[in-house]
Structure formats: C-alpha cells, structure tokens
C-alpha cells in the first residue's frame, strides 16, 4: 500500500472526527449522555472528571480498530486517525482551553484565539441548554457565536453565564 493511501485515510478520519465529535457533543453529551458530560460544565476537584469517560470510549474504539487490522490494510489507519484526533483534542481542549496542564497560555490572535474564545462561550451558560459552539477543532467566528448566544437567551434557552466562562479581556 502506498504511503498516500494511509495518509489520506488518517487525514480524512481526523476531518471526519470533527463532524462526529460535533454531533456527539451536541446531541449525545448535551442530550441523553448529559450524566457524564455534566461534570465538564461544573467545578470539579482533582484531575479526573466523569466526562473523561467519553475520551476512554473513543480511545478503546481507536485501539480496537488498530488491533482488528494487524496487516494495516485500512481499519488500522482509521484507528490512527481517531487517535490523532484524540491527541489534537487533548492539546487544544484539555490543555489550551481548560488548562488541565501545569502551564497556561491564552492566545491573543488567530485561529487558536478563536478556538479558545468559542469554547469559553460554549461554557457561558449554566446547564446543557442554550450552549453554542459544539466543535472541538473548528469554531465559527466569535461574533456569530455571541449573536447565537444572545438569541438563545432571548428565547429563554440559555441561563445566565457561569462566572468561570468569561472571556479574557472582557471579550
């Protein structure tokens, strides 16, 4: 198998996983799976939160695909793509946005700032209803998210912001 085919499978899987993650976050985690995800929207103590079980499930699926395909004919590379997405998620979401690492950096411009702000706006409401921005590696423009958040508040779908969800510099 040419190196281009595995690379295409991995890259395609990473892109596809953003759609899977968006749908899972929007409809599963903020729906029937709220029991696990709720811990992510609340103050928790320690390094573990129940929401981390979602990462464990996806890691088991990824490793399972790799294990099922020892000849590296296709499923293996799908699993590698899922693992790559998981690593990117870990860096961007857990590290950058939620500061679950020992160092802190708040981006001041560009893509990383938009990603950071979008996820902070996701946490700008209490509870599971009225949230915006469900992707992890893609974020709509912040002005669009703020407008949607305001519309959700007017409709009564969103409650007052959680204090920890404010953006740096009041943005």
Average pLDDT over residues 123-145: 91
| Residue 88 structural domain | 4-97
**Interatomic CA distance for residues 87 and 55, integer angstroms:** 10
Claim to verify: residue 65 and residue 125 sit in the same structural domain: no
What pLDDT score does 33 carry?
96
Q: pTM for this structure? A: 0.84
**Total domain count, the chain:** 2
Claim to verify: residue 53 and residue 121 sit in the same structural domain: no
Domain end call among 68, 97, 126: 97
User: Which of 145, 135, 153, 139 minimizes the C-alpha distance to 171?
Assistant: 145
Binned at pLDDT 50, 70 and 90, residue 160 comes out as low
Tell whether 102 is covered by a domain: no
**Per-residue pLDDT tens for 8-24?**
999 999 999 999 999 99
Claim to verify: residue 93 and residue 114 sit in the same structural domain: no
Flag whether pLDDT at 126 surpasses 70. Answer: yes
Binned at pLDDT 50, 70 and 90, residue 158 comes out as low
**Interatomic CA distance for residues 16 and 22, integer angstroms:** 10
Residue 68's Cβ-count burial label (10 Å; 0-12, 13-18, 19+) is exposed
Q: Return the percentage of the chain with pLDDT > 90, whole number.
A: 66
What pLDDT score does 148 carry?
92
Claim to verify: residue 49 and residue 122 sit in the same structural domain: no
What pLDDT score does 161 carry?
54
Claim to verify: residue 92 and residue 58 sit in the same structural domain: yes
What pLDDT score does 166 carry?
46
CB-based contact 10:80 (threshold 8 Å): yes
Output 53 or 99, whichever has higher pLDDT. Answer: 53
Claim to verify: residue 89 and residue 115 sit in the same structural domain: no
- Cα–Cα distances in Å, from 48 out to 21, 91, 122? 20, 16, 20
Helices (H) and strands (E) in the chain, counts: 6, 0
């Amino acid at each position: 198998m040419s190196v281009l085919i595995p690379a295409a499978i991995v890259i395609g899987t990473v892109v596809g996983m953003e759609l899977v993650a968006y749908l899972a976050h929007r409809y599963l985690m903020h729906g029937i799976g709220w029991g696990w995800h709720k811990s992510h929207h609340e103050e928790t103590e320690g390094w573990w939160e129940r929401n981390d079980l979602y990462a464990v499930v996806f890691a088991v699926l990824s490793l399972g695909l790799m294990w099922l395909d020892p000849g590296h004919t296709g499923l293996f590379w799908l699993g590698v793509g899922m693992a790559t997405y998981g690593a990117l998620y870990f860096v961007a979401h857990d590290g950058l946005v939620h500061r679950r690492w020992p160092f802190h950096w708040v981006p001041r411009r560009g893509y990383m700032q938009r990603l950071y702000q979008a996820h902070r706006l996701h946490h700008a409401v209490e509870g599971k209803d009225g949230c915006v921005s469900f992707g992890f590696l893609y974020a709509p423009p912040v002005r669009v998210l703020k407008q949607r958040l305001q519309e959700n508040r007017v409709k009564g779908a969103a409650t007052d912001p959680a204090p920890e969800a404010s953006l740096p510099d009041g943005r």
